Amino acid sequence: AQSVTQPDIHITVSEGASLELRCNYSYGATPYLFWYVQSPGQGLQLLLKYFSGDTLVQGIKGFEAEFKRSQSSFNLRKPSVHWSDAAEYFCAVGARNTGNQFYFGTGTSLTVIP
Amino acid sequence: DADVTQTPRNRITKTGKRIMLECSQTKGHDRMYWYRQDPGLGLRLIYYSFDVKDINKGEISDGYSVSRQAQAKFSLSLESAIPNQTALYFCATSDTGFPDTQYFGPGTRLTVL
């Protein structure tokens, strides 16, 4: 069965510090991977996605993620966090073999302190 | 104007009442989805539709029904609301061709007393 695990429920970082949010997936075929961000009171917005090719993908707002097949991971990174990055972050996998559904992780809440 | 709109944005209702949540999109996408979000559980798929005549159950469809009135409109109904359906509900759309980016509405906060 497809699943997405985000081990960190909540992370706190200082403004200007680097950030890494973890995502592990379980999927039997080539995964289609996404990171979304949800600001307070808003819907989800796509940060970046991986379908194939270069395993390091760049997204909006200075985020990047690296697909590591051997570790079944797709971790999100940012070199220097801004206060406006405080939000909920969701990793998701697209599963073609189960009716083209998307499966989301439980989310990581990011707090940025001055 | 927003590409994906949801009405109402907030709703408080009582157990046993019938509730309809509506979603409209101007992106011209064929595919539409309904999710619910619960704290600690992330987003879970309720129903999805690949076109007007194609509707599919998702992970947690029990207690819900949907109607795809047109390409641009996808409604979610709770025939007899119960308290554990209290959640944040999101509509999303995507273009034809899987996988594709999903575009989310702002959400509807539903409280069932």
Digitized pLDDT (tens) for each residue of chain A, 114 residues in all: 678 999 999 999 999 999 999 999 987 677 889 999 999 888 899 999 998 888 999 999 999 999 999 999 999 999 999 999 999 999 999 877 666 678 899 999 999 999
Check CB contact under 8 Å for A51 and B106: no
Closest in A49, A101, A103 to B101, CB measured: A49
- How wide is the angle at C-alpha B43 spanned by C-alphas A44 and A37, nearest 5°? 25
Min distance B82 CA to chain A CA atoms (Å): 23
Q: Is the peptide bond before B39 cis (omega within 30 degrees of 0)?
A: no
pLDDT tens for each residue of B90-105: 999 988 766 778 899 9
How far apart, in whole angstroms, are the C-alpha atoms of residue B106 and residue B22? 12
